[in-house]
Amino acid sequence: MGPRVQLPPEIQLAQRLAGNEQVTRDRAVRRLRKYIVARTQRPAGGFTHDELLKVWKGLFYCMWMQDKPLLQEELSRTISQLMHAFRSTEAQLLFLQTFWQTMNREWTGIDRLRLDKFYMLMRMVLNESLTALKTRGWEERQTDQLLELLMTEILHPDSQAPNGVKSHFIEIFLEELTKVGADQLTAEQNLRFIDPFCRIAAQTEDSLVLHNITRGIFETIVEQAPFAIEDLMKELEEEEEMEEGDEEMSESEEQEREQAVPVKKPPKGSVSGVEPDVDEEQAEDDEDSTGPVLQFDYEAVANRLFEVASHQSTPSQNRKRLYKVIRKLQDLAEGLFPEDDVPEKAYRSLQEGRRERKAKKRLRKSRLQNKTGKGGKEDPPDLSSGSEGTRRRRPGAAADPAAPQEQPRDRGRRGARMRRRRPRVGAKVKVADGRGPETKTQRPLESRK
């Protein structure tokens, strides 16, 4: 017998990662992390492309063999965090490149019962990729390198990525970017992240890729616009409240010192007890609150899309689809929401919250003035005065008494300016009671015959 051939460490680790016993696989994952750290610390260390492909094949089948959802989630997180064991940016990008190449190669062999675990693995690897950018301060050069790698391996026409990988990547991109960088990224930086999708959407000949990018990237931005605006308004109001907080605290401390007899709280439901309970107000805010949302300059996004869509080499079906998105973005830039339900709800909650805060400030000031000027006797504020009525009138409502009165169900909705829409060609006019005049696109039954 000849001497036994010693296998390379990468192949040995890959064999143990794909073992039948969970204890063996867990031990192999821990040893792999130590091996990566030790090898990348050497001056001439590092991994080649083929070596990392062998490592990822072992990790792929390590995930394949893992049962139970909680253990699958823990293993996905452990595997995705292996990227941070590499010291240099080039080594991390090579690790990510071989991961997506492995997923593209093995995707067709995954049965439907194991799809969810690999969907989760792709989501966590993308999340850790963006987290690595965040730790480096979102540098432009490294951001461009990561985006170029992702587009080349997944969405480029010459890539070998199956439709399942492409669709899932487009679906989760904005979600994971929001989780990682919504509190730090500016509108200009967010435009840099979606710029590759603009170019792919304009040049692709795959109708499925065009549909997924339009729906998962651009229309998602349009749908999240009301919440992004609400988020921005809340930040501005918090800054204003912090500035006014010091003045209010100083005034309240002086009044407490001068006040000798404590004033009883008015009964709940009385005119002077307009302020809602703190717990109830907090509960209402929690119900209406949404998660962090990415901020975008809608005019800049529309201009960038128009630039790539109006190019001579852009296919006509791509140009037609992108022009519809551009119109929606231009409407957002002008303050017009293309949808009814979600923007209306967000705008209504924002306006009502601002009215309540203003009413509270006026009540506090009136009480302080009454206590100092009338010996502590408090008069209920006149909520039906003319100035108060004008402040609470819905924007866009007529001030003329002869004008038609506002219906109760429309209370708190946006004014006519915010609800203005551009007429569409061939659009039908809806009639409330069904007995209105005939629309331009409708014809009597006799004429149709």
The position carrying tokens 């292996």 is: 82
In a domain, 415, yes or no: no
* Least confidently predicted of 158-162, 213-217, 376-380, 427-431: 427-431
Largest CA distance in the chain: 110
Tell me: do 159 and 224 sit in the same domain.
no
Tell me: do 140 and 198 sit in the same domain.
no
In a domain, 373, yes or no: no
Q: Is the pLDDT of residue 138 over 90?
A: yes
**Domains of the chain: total:** 2
Q: Higher pLDDT residue, 325 or 395?
A: 325
Tell me: do 82 and 137 sit in the same domain.
yes
In a domain, 32, yes or no: yes
Q: Is the pLDDT of residue 281 over 50?
A: no
Tell me: do 210 and 169 sit in the same domain.
no
**How confident is residue 148, by pLDDT bands cut at 50, 70 and 90?**
very high
Q: Is the pLDDT of residue 340 over 50?
A: no
In a domain, 28, yes or no: yes
Closest CA to 78 of 112, 152, 28: 28
Residue 60: count of CB within 10 angstroms of its CB: 22
Closest CA to 347 of 336, 363, 362: 336
In a domain, 411, yes or no: no
What's residue 41's pLDDT?
83
In a domain, 270, yes or no: no
Q: What mean pLDDT is reported for the chain?
A: 76
Domain end point (choices 304, 338, 372): 338
The position carrying tokens 């569409």 is: 424
CA distances from 208 to 42, 211, 327 (A): 45, 5, 22
Tell me: do 201 and 299 sit in the same domain.
yes
**How confident is residue 94, by pLDDT bands cut at 50, 70 and 90?**
very high
Tell me: do 177 and 91 sit in the same domain.
yes
Q: What is the DSSP letter of 215?
A: I
**Number of Cα atoms under 13 Å in the Cβ half of residue 65:** 18
* Sequential DSSP letters for 120-137: HHHHHHHHHHHHHHHHTT
Domain end point (choices 277, 309, 338): 338
Tell me: do 165 and 190 sit in the same domain.
no
Tell me: do 25 and 59 sit in the same domain.
yes
**How confident is residue 7, by pLDDT bands cut at 50, 70 and 90?**
confident
| Burial tier of 161 (Cβ tally within 10 Å: 0-12, 13-18, 19+) | buried
Closest CA to 264 of 273, 254, 255: 273
Tell me: do 135 and 203 sit in the same domain.
no
What's residue 312's pLDDT?
92
In a domain, 269, yes or no: no
What is the residue range of 314's domain? Answer: 185-240+290-338
Contact by Cβ (8 Å): 197, 213: yes
Tell me: do 100 and 177 sit in the same domain.
yes
Tell me: do 210 and 300 sit in the same domain.
yes
In a domain, 380, yes or no: no
Q: Higher pLDDT residue, 419 or 181?
A: 181
Domain end point (choices 282, 310, 338): 338
pLDDT tens figures, 369-384 = 665 554 444 444 444 4
What's residue 326's pLDDT?
95
Tell me: do 114 and 217 sit in the same domain.
no
pLDDT tens figures, 58-80 = 999 999 999 999 999 999 999 99
CA distances from 249 to 245, 246, 285, 349 (A): 6, 5, 24, 27
